[in-house]
Amino acid sequence: MSRRTPLPPDRVSDCTVFEIVGIDFAGPLFLKNGEKVWIARFTCAANRAIHLELVRSLSSDSFNLAMRCFIARRGRPKTIYSDNGTNFKGSCNELSKLDWNQIQREANLERMSWKFNPPNC
């Protein structure tokens, strides 16, 4: 009988949809007019439901706007998981412009717990 590593408590806890979320970016996507856009992907940790928001730039302000839209539709998450952006660098150098400290400060003001995955995970 093989042993399995137990799932993290956030993945098996009894919680509402989007109470614990993971955030990632997809893109860039190119519109017909040549404009680049990205998709901010919010994934529920408990049941894997997804919510997508279009992001027109990779600035912290654009991401925070997408976060506010997500909260307005789905409610405020208690816990957010994301990486530090290091895994994005290979696909798009512009993601390094995100001010993760500003994003985390804003999350703290809204009483959310933000957990960053270690690099190279």
What is the span of the domain harbouring residue 65?
13-116
Q: Is residue 58 part of a domain?
A: yes
The pTM (predicted TM-score) of the whole model is: 0.71
Summarize pLDDT for 39-90 with one digit per residue, the tens: 999 999 888 899 999 999 888 788 888 988 999 999 989 888 887 653 333 3
Write the CATH number for 108. Answer: 3.30.420.10
Inter-residue contact 83 to 25 (CB < 8 Å): no
What's the mean pLDDT when you consider all of the chain? 78
Alpha helices in 16-99 (DSSP H): 60-74
The count of structural domains within the chain is 1
pLDDT for 59: 80
Q: Order the strands of the 113-116 sheet from edge to edge.
A: 50-55, 36-44, 20-30, 79-82, 113-116
Q: Is residue 3 part of a domain?
A: no
